[in-house]
Structure 1
């Protein structure tokens, strides 16, 4: 990619300079070279207050801190979930546990990439780790995004199948074996869906002291890079959102109909509602300023699911809480000695007096 000499420091002095800067950046995310350029072109207004805004620095530091906290909590939570699932999986195998284990492993890989994104965000989205780490970190992030959604979708299908066929005779071992094959298929599809990101992720220098880690599709024949980018983004939306949303919604709607038709006593069904809001807003400077703050903040909040998944799908279950309690007792000598003393005190208290 050619170095952009007209956008020094990420700032554009005029509309002509903005257009020249954007003409030099025909890649996938090269529009990130300057949000102010896009503001100027779309609104004919240039807001110089974005440059050096202290609130922007505070937001980036806050997001970096949240990434660090999510990384620490995610490492502990997902490692505990994997340990408890593995110890229970040897005793009782089930398809749900297999998918939850895959989800925990996916989240564990994902949180390992968060320190890199924390530094990237704190440095105003400048990538200081080089091209190889750009490919590795961005590819692992994208692949685990796909895998996480696919495992959640598989859990919905498995939950529907296990409840609707609970009166039939099915072996747990055969269901667990099928779940393992489905898990392998999930990783294979996630890897194939991530290949474009792996191949075309690169480092782009957009200013003398500014390098970004982004996806840049080259020009090839009649295909325009923007068209290829549009197809790639459409693939991400379809595979990572639309298709899983349809499958999960269908499974829970069918499950709700099954429970209502059978009127099973003591049964409980948890439904997750997905709310999609469409807003019509005019192009304005204030709107794009808000987007510059809201988008990284929303991504930050979305990443917190990596430390919430172990709690939602594993640690709230009674058998796993009991396993966690046993692990704490075995790992802590004081708790272990206290647990041994309590039964003795109970026996002494119950002993008849002479």
Structure 2
């Protein structure tokens, strides 16, 4: 019992450093103005060493281990789904981009690339989670993995925003006279990557592995003096990686729906209304997926920032919310990188058609779609001759 209470004091000391500096317990050994764990998800503030094992009367060590194992398994499942989904997106979009280049497809390629490199970090976070957030991979890997994780958070948000703008321009441009002078796709993508790297710079500078209470932790260690770096870090995350993309997605969706509604009067019945319905469903799915995946995590992050700034008092409800709700919010936020391929490819008819063709070639069956009778035998003959 004494050991459990001692562990609980360590966990609460870690929590206090992150959320309320006036409660810091020097016996914890955690450096002040530091943030434990995965920096893209509010750094898992309540998940210090053995914190779930020591929640008084809430759970035992076995339940805590089961919860950590469940979260680790969720990371591995997300990794597998994300690998398959994003690789398919890269293959299909690259093939389509060669035939018919477009700015939207260029953004989609970059989004799939950043999501793909992100899902490769999930096995590291799975191992970190199942070991009760004891980081076994060393300081260099801590910096690399944490940097890639946060880079994906910003890059995916920026490319999602750019895709919503590009989709609006594509639909409006298809129904209006074309205008020249659009910036090259490479320049726009380069600017977005540069902005994501700049936003990730604090993570790259301050990510490190530190031994605390005999356990190595992968954390963000900010300078002790100066402004409240940790609060500024999380405020930047909320504003740049959530509020700005959400406002862009919502604004573009509303503008596009208003534009389609105004054009409806001049459309003939049949094709145009069906197109409007497809666009409306796609916009709703993209916006809802981003909101549902990121809102819980960002809300808990904002709660911690308000406590850090003494705007609201710290209480046990916050500690329990961080311990139990925060892992769910992390999984939801990670799942967004796996949902992107489904949302932006499976909702588009041309990508579904390309996926069917790819599966048909993998099975060795000819393409039997109308109008393809002449092409399939020619392709088969060419392969036989080769």
Please indicate the TM-score interval, normalised by the length of the shorter structure: 0.7 to 0.9
Equivalent in the alignment of 1:228: 229
Matches for 1:205-244 after TM superposition, within 5 Å: 205-208=211-214, 210-220=215-225, 223-224=226-227, 227-244=228-245
Query: 1:301, CA displacement in angstroms?
Result: 2.1
Would the alpha carbon gap of residues 86 and 119 (structure 1) be closer, same or farther in structure 2, given more than 3 Å must change? same
Would the alpha carbon gap of residues 24 and 290 (structure 1) be closer, same or farther in structure 2, given more than 3 Å must change? closer
Q: Does the CA contact (< 8 Å) of 1:11 and 1:34 recur in 2?
A: no
Query: 1:324, CA displacement in angstroms?
Result: 1.7
| Bigger CA radius of gyration | 1
Equivalent in the alignment of 1:186: 192
Match of 1:195 among 183, 193, 201: 201
Q: Does 1:253 align with 2:254?
A: yes
Counterpart secondary structure, 1:211? strand
Counterpart secondary structure, 2:100? coil
Matches for 1:101-116 after TM superposition, within 5 Å: 101-116=109-124
Matches for 1:51-62 after TM superposition, within 5 Å: 52-62=60-70
Query: 1:110, CA displacement in angstroms?
Result: 0.6
- Report the count of equivalent residues: 320
Q: Deviations over 1:26-72 (max 9, x none)?
A: 032166585899xxxxxxxx953468532221111111111111111
Structure 1 unaligned runs (5+)?
1-6, 38-45, 345-354
Task: Give the TM-score taking structure 1 as reference length.
Answer: 0.79
- 2-structure distance, mates of 1:286, 1:231: 24
Q: Does the CA contact (< 8 Å) of 2:82 and 2:116 recur in 1?
A: yes
Matches for 1:1-354 after TM superposition, within 5 Å: 11-12=9-10, 19-21=25-27, 25-29=31-35, 34=48, 47-49=55-57, 52-170=60-178, 178-208=184-214, 210-220=215-225, 223-224=226-227, 227-263=228-264, 264=267, 265-266=272-273, 267-268=276-277, 269=280, 270-271=283-284, 272-273=287-288, 274=291, 284-285=315-316, 288-333=319-364, 335=365
Query: 1:262, CA displacement in angstroms?
Result: 2.2
Counterpart secondary structure, 1:304? helix
- 2-structure distance, mates of 1:152, 1:244: 7
Would the alpha carbon gap of residues 11 and 283 (structure 1) be closer, same or farther in structure 2, given more than 3 Å must change? closer
Which structure has the higher relative contact order (CA within 8 Å, separation 6+)?
Answer: 1
Counterpart secondary structure, 1:204? strand
- 2-structure distance, mates of 1:139, 1:309: 21
Q: Does the CA contact (< 8 Å) of 1:200 and 1:215 recur in 2?
A: yes
- 1-structure distance, mates of 2:205, 2:155: 19
- 2-structure distance, mates of 1:293, 1:66: 15
Q: Does the CA contact (< 8 Å) of 2:49 and 2:132 recur in 1?
A: no
Structure 2 unaligned runs (5+)?
14-21, 37-44, 304-311, 375-386
Query: 1:330, CA displacement in angstroms?
Result: 2.2
Equivalent in the alignment of 2:383: none
Would the alpha carbon gap of residues 198 and 96 (structure 1) be closer, same or farther in structure 2, given more than 3 Å must change? same
Would the alpha carbon gap of residues 108 and 316 (structure 1) be closer, same or farther in structure 2, given more than 3 Å must change? same
Query: 1:82, CA displacement in angstroms?
Result: 0.4
Would the alpha carbon gap of residues 304 and 327 (structure 1) be closer, same or farther in structure 2, given more than 3 Å must change? same
Task: Give the TM-score taking structure 2 as reference length.
Answer: 0.73
